[in-house]
Amino acid sequence: MTEEVYPGLFRIQIPLPGSPLKNLNSYVVRGQKRSLVIDTGLNREECRTALLSGLESIGVPPGSIDLFITHFHADHFGLVPGLAGDETEIFFNRPDGEVIENWSGFEPMVRHAAVNGFPEDVLRSAVEQHPGYQYGTGWMPPLSMIDDGATLTYGDHTLVCIQTPGHTPGHTCLYSEKYRFLIAGDHILEDITPNIQCWSDERDPLSEYLSSLEKIRDLSVDRVLPGHRRLFTNYTQRIDSLRDHHLRRLSEIETILAGASPLSAYEVASRMTWDIKAENWEAFPVAQKWFATGEAIAHLRLLENTGRVSCIRDAGAVTYTPPPG
């Protein structure tokens, strides 16, 4: 489906087969000579066909597009190499660009999951089901790195780049002061909560995410154009709802640890409440267990850094307990 959201700005819904997200919202700002495509879909033919068909329906030749990618996840980035031509400029944030430049495969994530309690016998199958593993990209064209506060102008639209780390290290939204909308990527979604995962000891992604919510809260936004699901208008209410969701999660984990500890992040995740259609933790799809464990680690990292839990690192295993005393 393709629709004009604002004059000269269109949404193309890109199918994500087999994903609970169902679709990606790709946005196109149509210009006279060059147009800007914001996010692309996975590196698979269904996504490519939908995007090219949508571009044709609004009169944008594929050879005239530049690309802006909100973050490096495969459902947003995967088609970039297949769309980029000799004249295509690809705008991307520097922190996520550094992740791509230093990418060494999924093995570091696998090792981190293992020391946090994820059973080795199911870990490999989780990797093989990951969309980034199945539908990622190989060859990478040159990227134009953009900084927080940079502006992009196409057609009648001037968009301000606002870096909102959390979902990824450099996730970046686009804000229109004139039309008062925010192209939010996966930073703010309406009927689902963006997944905040942690797979390294160097980051505190949930702290970053909560700070990023506060960073954009005072923007004058009448409408949010998210990366998935429907467009929505209850901007500040949704930000507050997302913040409160994570605060409740933090309290839930403290309660779990008070009742039985030490526990690994995998064990904590198995006792948390999740909005998924499964009878119990054992019935969760492997990929969802992996996402849940990554989210548990992110919450435990914030709790550890603020002194609300203690972390025990011993013999290749990481567990958590309430703080002493």
Per-residue pLDDT at 139: 65
Please tell me whether residue 26 adopts helix, strand or coil conformation.
strand
pTM of the model: 0.94
Per-residue pLDDT at 174: 98
Res. 133: pLDDT tops 70:
no
pLDDT per position as a tens digit, 63-98: 999 999 999 999 999 999 989 998 999 999 999 999
* Nearest one of 134, 93, 63, 120 to 266, comparing CA atoms: 120
Res. 9: pLDDT tops 70:
yes
Per-residue pLDDT at 131: 65
Domains in the chain, CATH or no CATH each? 2-105+137-237 (3.60.15.10), 120-128+241-321 (1.10.10)
pLDDT per position as a tens digit, 262-275: 999 999 999 999 98
- Reported as a pLDDT band with limits 50, 70 and 90, residue 36 is very high
Q: Which residue has the higher pLDDT, 286 or 66?
A: 66
Per-residue pLDDT at 105: 73
DSSP assignment letter at 195: P
Average model confidence (pLDDT) across the chain: 93
Cα dist from 231 to 205, 227, 237, whole Å: 25, 9, 14
Q: What is the largest CA-CA distance in the chain?
A: 66
Per-residue pLDDT at 122: 79
